[in-house]
A and B are shown apart, each in its own frame.
Chain A
Amino acid sequence: MNKDKIFKLAKGFRGRAKNCIRIARERVEKALQYSYRDRRNKKRDMRSLWIERINAGTRLHGVNYSTFMHGLMKENVQLNRKVLSELSMHEPYSFKALVDISRNAFPGNKIPKEGISA
């Protein structure tokens, strides 16, 4: 790639990496490697963020993520985690209905074992 293309890709870099071709070439190569890797990582990160949000939303209703998903799988609800996380953020009543569906399908063990404390 010629120098103009490299400098175009190096906009916003720190220090000499945006001005001097030798350094810019290295940094741009690294940046492109990172972007290749992160296009695949982004899918993983987004899914884990959806799972965190669903977890938080269900715990507000007393159910944790694992029992919730198990109940939904039993009821054959095909909603994916992206949609579920959007529901938990913006549509609280619909989400509560889903939590109730899951709770009916799989009650889970809510009662903690009564430990014998002296």
Chain B
Amino acid sequence: MATSSAVQPFKGNLKKALAGLRRINLDGLRWRVFDAKGQILGRLASQIATVVQGKDKPTYTPYREDGDMCIIINAKDVCVSGRKLTDKLYRWHTGYIGHLKERSLKDQLQKDPTEVIRKAVLRMLPRNKLRDDRDRKLRIFPGSEHPFGDRPLESYVMPPRNVREMRPRARRAVIRAQKKLEQAAASETSRKEKKKSDERSEIQQ
């Protein structure tokens, strides 16, 4: 597979990125690029799930796997609201008694940021025989470079979203934080002015 010559060569697991491409029947499938930077995790994952299932095409057939290939970049910059960065836990049981392990979102992002989005999307797909094939169509990269630059890529525009108004308590907290910043900036400038005026008075004296 030729790496893209325009951008710097793709560092990272090329073997993993190209794994199983031969198994997918690629004629007529588009390559959609999702930019995860600044997107909310769940909302992005639901859009990816609809695209990977092929539910945005009028030729959708439930027994045939027809979704587009999805490339997701900047996976480490995906956002969550609330306290989920520390409080969302991924749990799994190893099979041995008493061994229920858990790991928080923050640690998972440090360890392997692609797994966060992959788990989110996989858990949104219907649990049937096509789920593994759909998993093979997801290519997630933590950074912004990928080895598929030489293919015809289309970037996906997220549908417009109405963001909920902030709750009063959260809003007051944000306003207080803003005021503190302004006061700090104002006090710094006043201190600088005082220093300048002191120096000037010293020089005059």
Contacts and interface: CB of A to CB of B under 8 A. Distances in A.
A93 to B, nearest CB: 13
Contacts of A114: 162
Nearest to B61: A49
Given A118-B166, A118-B174, A60 B160 contact: no
Contacts of B161: 112
Interface in A54-83: 54, 56-57, 59-60
Contacts of A49: 60, 62
Contacts of A53: 58-60
A52 interface: yes
A40 interface: no
A52 B170 CA distance: 40
Contacts, number: 39
Nearest to B160: A112
Interface residues of B, number: 17
Interface residues of A, number: 18
Given A112-B160, A118-B171, A56 B165 contact: no
A1 interface: no
Nearest to A52: B60
Interface string B146-184: 000000000000001111111000110010000000000
Contacts of B60: 49, 52-53, 56
7 contacts: A49-B60, A54-B58, A57-B58, A60-B56, A117-B166, A118-B166, A118-B170
Interface of A: 49, 52-54, 56-57, 59-60, 85, 88-89, 112-118
